[in-house]
Amino acid sequence: MAVTAEILAEYHSVSRRPAFAGKNHDGLLAWVEKIALLVEPAALGKRRSRDSKDDMFIACALAAGASTVVSSDKDLLSMVKPFGIEIVTPAKFIARHRL
């Protein structure tokens, strides 16, 4: 797992949205901060995703040398292997890596 400072900030911001009211994600966020590889985002040169806010995930994966991004975001899932990076849903990732 890899993240950038911008992605961590996004995770914290999303966890405070009204849809998550009454839920405490502090432990999960602390775990991510502890185990994730913190990288500087790679330069993409131009906008890659339909939603420019999603480019940070591609930039992170590229910087980390990742082969896969796991996401439920429709804009990311619509991309066809940017920079050779596959984008899959959490369900597909879990099914693929079950022991």
Q: How confident is the model at residue 20 (pLDDT cuts 50, 70, 90)?
A: confident
As given in the structure block, the two tokens for residue 60 are 């992170």
Q: What is the pLDDT of residue 21?
A: 81
Half-sphere exposure of 32 (CA within 13 A, CB side): 16
Q: What is the pLDDT of residue 3?
A: 98
Percent over 70 (pLDDT), the chain? 99
Residues 47/13, Cβ–Cβ less than 8 Å: no
**CA distance readout (Å), 46 to 7, 33, 56:** 19, 28, 12
Q: What are the boundaries of each domain within the chain?
A: 2-96
Nearest to 84 by CA among 97, 65, 71, 70: 65
Q: What is the pLDDT of residue 99?
A: 62
Q: What is the mean pLDDT of residues 32-44?
A: 97
Angle between helices 26-35 and 5-15 (to 10 degrees): 170
